[in-house]
Structure 1
């Protein structure tokens, strides 16, 4: 995934979850690093990382309430 596409995905997740861009960006980068470490097939990595970031943000919001 190119940098521009990743930035657009981070913006979309931030808008959907009402989370700060910085938070989403950091979570995306950390999750990407964790998921891509040792991965041989990268085809669905973007989808999996985006899903995990959304799930983590939802759980943070739920825990805060």
Structure 2
């Protein structure tokens, strides 16, 4: 995945969840690395990582209210 694509994903998640981009970028990279450790096919890993980070942040925000 191109760096520009990752930057856009991070920016979008950060804006949607009101989370600093640095935090989202770290979460995304960590999640992607975790998925890659066990994957034999990596085609959809960026999508899965994006969904996981978005869900994690959404769930953590809703549990605070």
The alpha carbon displacement at 1:49 in A equals 0.4
How far the C-alpha of 1:63 sits from its partner, in A, is 2.2
Which consecutive residues of structure 1, in runs of 5 or more, have no partner in the other structure?
Answer: none
Name the structure 2 match of 1:21. 21
Q: Distance in 2 between matches of 1:53 and 1:6?
A: 13
TM-score, structure 1 as length reference: 0.89
Q: Please give the TM-score of this superposition, normalised by the length of structure 2.
A: 0.89
Task: Give the RMSD, CA atoms, in angstroms.
Answer: 1.0
Q: Measure, in 2, the Cα distance between the counterparts of 1:60 and 1:23.
A: 13
Match in the other structure for 1:11: 11
In the alignment of these two chains, the number of paired residues is 65
Structure 1: 4+ residue segments shifted above 4 A: none
